[in-house]
């Protein structure tokens, strides 16, 4: 006799997994904005830049890709300083760094 599948619990598990993946992607995109130093841009400026990238021709997009790869290669060669990974706005909230 075959085991009866619980489709509701399988769908719920898939929905939970999709929700976790979406949340992780949002966090990673935020970290990317901060790592590139684009956190100081207004949301409108950042959105405009991303729309420009989306509409760019292949040659321009490739130049930007190479520039981004170089940025992260430079960053990975520098020693990690945990204090630099915390955005300035967060330091005042969590009290981890002295106020200047």
pLDDT in tens, 58-75: 999 999 999 999 988 887
Query: What does the H/E/C string look like for 72-100?
Result: HHHHHHCCCCHHHHCCHHHHHHHCCCCCC
What CA–CA distance (Å, rounded) separates 34 from 28? Answer: 10
Helices (H) and strands (E) in the chain, counts: 4, 0
Residue 96 pLDDT class (50, 70, 90 cuts): very low
Task: Provide the pLDDT for residue 28.
Answer: 96
- The reported pTM is 0.58
Buried b (16+ CB within 10 A) or exposed e, 32-61: ebeeeeeeeeeeeeeeeeeeeeeeeeeeee
Residue 13 pLDDT class (50, 70, 90 cuts): very high
Q: Convert the pLDDT of each residue in 26-85 to its tens digit.
A: 999 999 999 888 999 999 999 999 898 889 999 999 999 999 999 888 877 766 555 454
């Amino acid at each position: 006799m075959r085991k009866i599948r619980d489709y509701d619990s399988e769908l719920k598990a898939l929905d939970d997994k999709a929700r976790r993946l979406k949340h992780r992607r949002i966090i990673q995109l935020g970290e990317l904005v901060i790592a590139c130093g684009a956190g100081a841009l207004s949301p409108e400026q950042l959105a405009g830049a991303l729309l420009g990238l989306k509409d760019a021709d292949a040659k321009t997009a490739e130049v930007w890709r190479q520039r981004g790869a170089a940025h992260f290669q430079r960053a990975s060669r520098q020693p990690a300083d945990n204090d630099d990974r915390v955005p300035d706005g967060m330091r005042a909230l969590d009290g981890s760094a002295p106020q200047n």
